[in-house]
Chains A and B, each alone.
Chain A
Amino acid sequence: MEWQKTADAVVIGGGMMGTCTAYHLAKLGMKNVVLVEKKTVASGATGRCGAAFRAQWGSRLNIEMGKRCIDKFEHMQEETGMDIGLYQNGYLMIGYTEKEVEIFRESVALQNSMGVPSRMIDHDEARAICPGINVDDALGFSYYERDGQADPFLCNIAHQEAAKRLGVKFQKFTEVTGLKVAGGRIKGVVTSRGEIDAPVVVSAAGAWNRHIGDMAGIDFPVVGERHEALITEAVDFDVCPTMLMSFVGDYYIQQRPNGTIIAGCGPNAYTKADHDPEVMGNSWGFLERTAQVLLKVLPRTRNIGITHQWSGMYDLTPDLQPCIGETDEIKGLWLNVSGCRGFMFGAVAGELVAQMIIRGSSDLDISDFHWRRYAQGKKFKDLMVV
């Protein structure tokens, strides 16, 4: 890809958050957008995620984002011209404590009031939705059938291809190593392959955003946290007909449309391999623990072969919620980070950020996602988080 020294905007990071931002900037009419990616598109967390999306959140803004993202996934093939492996098989949230079930109940009421027809269901219905599931020790469930999943590589690549058609330039194997700032304004980026001058720079580097902020002496409140996952061989389509998740139980299990089953959990449920948690790697402890969960929750997976395990970096923020907006310190420098749900929020967040950059406002007010809330001693509250 030919190097160009100037751009109208530079986007840092080719995951779902960055690629969608670049796509929407171009779609809204920006002529000269460059995306700079250290490796390749979908090589970060996006290409390593469970790729689930949901409207079952516990706060107004997240539910609205969730509704919009379901809409985006349902129209992504039309929008980008590529099949994205959409599979809407519903999310079954499994509660193991009274407190967790109460959170489900309150969240469902809020979701219903906002036009999301999710519902609380009982053990019998959970067993009807997912025959063979062992939920004897669960206390309650919520369910929404339009929640679903899609192929994370294809979603990311579909936006790259659509963005390229609109003129966006992708510079792969190119690392941003510095930010150019003068007079309180962003002036461009320094990279491993040269400089690009631009009046707008969007940091969408996922778990690595902190390092981008550091380049301008700004605190981007993001840390990376390794999360592991595994996948099985392809089996009969109905082994796990719906997506399963439990916050207290600390697991998720979902069958892909090709028959493979993906499962994972947070990093504190097992003995981690002994290396830097900010570096990718796989733990035997994860394999043992997740296999144990599979055996317990879905006993019929007993003889299924686990074929791969891998890991990816969560983009952790202090309240596990998005941090999105223009920095107060440097005009033209933006942060677009999801707080561990960038796959599902990417397309919506990318569009809203592009609207704010180009029009000065977005059609959904997401100012509550600005991270200046931390300096004000506030946190964004939503208890429907992993």
Chain B
Amino acid sequence: MPEEPQNIVVCRCEEVELEEIREWIDKGYDTFDELKRVLRVGMGPCQGRGCRDIILREISRRTGTPIAEIPCGTFRPPVKAIKVKVAAKGGDR
């Protein structure tokens, strides 16, 4: 088997590497939201669109839990960033 490359960035918004994710899963942080709280994965503007599946797969692989049984974490509004002046009641007067 070829060696896995080092320093694979999984969460690009918060620049979190696979190695760190594995370390914290092994410390018992084996749900998406726990990893989010300790490493900020999924807390950036994309809310985990890029990394959630990779992380859930990694949790499943290291804990032996089927992927469908791992809580997949919370999604928060707004779906896309909205400017302060647009959100403000009465607009930018």
Q: Which residues of A contact B (CB under 8 A)?
A: 1, 40-43, 47, 153-154, 156-157, 161, 170, 232-233, 282, 287-289, 291-292, 294-295, 301-310
Contacts and interface: CB of A to CB of B under 8 A. Distances in A.
Contact of B84 (A154, A157, A303): A303
A235 to B, nearest CB: 11
B78 interface: yes
B84 A301 contact: yes
Contacts of B31: 40
Nearest to A287: B87
A156 to B, nearest CB: 8
The list of the 7 closest CB pairs from A to B, nearest first, reads A305-B81, A291-B87, A288-B89, A291-B88, A153-B37, A292-B88, A308-B76
A302 B89 contact: no
Given A154-B38, A288-B89, A289-B89, A306 B33 contact: no
Interface of B: 27-28, 31, 33-34, 37-38, 45, 47, 76-78, 81-90, 92
B88 A294 contact: yes
A287 B27 CA distance: 37
Contacts of A282: 76-77
Contacts of B92: 295, 302
Contacts of B76: 282, 308-310
B81 to A, nearest CB: 3
A294 B47 CA distance: 23
Contacts of A170: 28
Nearest to B31: A40
A294 B92 CA distance: 11
Nearest to A306: B82
B38 A302 contact: no
Q: Is the interface of B mostly helix, strand, loop or mixed?
A: loop
Nearest to B93: A295
Contacts of B77: 282, 308-309
B26 to A, nearest CB: 13
A309 B37 contact: no
Contacts of B84: 232, 291, 294-295, 301-306
B85 A303 contact: yes
A109 B88 CA distance: 38
Contacts of A40: 31, 33-34, 37
Contacts of B88: 288, 291-292, 294-295
Contacts of A291: 84-89
A77 B90 CA distance: 44
Contacts of B86: 291
B21 to A, nearest CB: 15
A170 B81 CA distance: 37
B28 to A, nearest CB: 8
Nearest to B81: A305
Contacts of A294: 84, 88
Contact of A302 (B78, B82, B83): B83
A70 B83 CA distance: 34
Contact of B83 (A156, A289, A306): A306
Contact of B78 (A47, A289, A304, A306): A306
Contacts of B45: 233, 305, 307
B81 A292 contact: no
B82 A305 contact: yes
Contacts of A307: 45, 78, 81
B80 to A, nearest CB: 9
A12 B77 CA distance: 31
Contacts of B85: 291, 295, 302-303
* Chain A CB within 10 A, most for which of B27, B84, B85: B84
A308 B46 CA distance: 10
